[in-house]
Amino acid sequence: MLSIINTVRAHKELPPWGELRPEMRMREDVGFESLDLAELTVRIEEEFDVDVFADGLVFTIGEVAAKLQRSCAKPEG
């Protein structure tokens, strides 16, 4: 996820993050606006086949990570 977030930040000419913390807020701390969140969603969906906004908004890195973990833990069927 760090690599995806840094790719989106690079498009905004923002420096990359070295690490992410669960409490980091997508808008206030990471610096994302609506279009950045849309790009993030597309990139995560391409990489992990998960739409993190499918069942509601996410506001922090921890919320995105939790949705990815839940999705990866589900058995295919």
Mean pLDDT of 11-30: 95
Among the listed residues 13, 31, 24, the one whose alpha carbon sits nearest the alpha carbon of residue 59 = 24
Question: Is residue 32 classed exposed, middle or buried when 0-12, 13-18 and 19+ CB atoms within 10 A define those classes?
Answer: buried
Q: Average the pLDDT over 48-70 and give the result.
A: 91
Contact 50, 44 (CB under 8 A): yes
- The answer to whether the pTM exceeds 0.85 is no
Average pLDDT score over residue span 29-57: 92
Do the Cβ atoms of 9 and 18 come closer than 8 Å?
no
Higher-confidence position of 73 and 15:
15
pLDDT confidence band for 76 (50 / 70 / 90): low
CATH class for the region spanning 2-73: mainly alpha
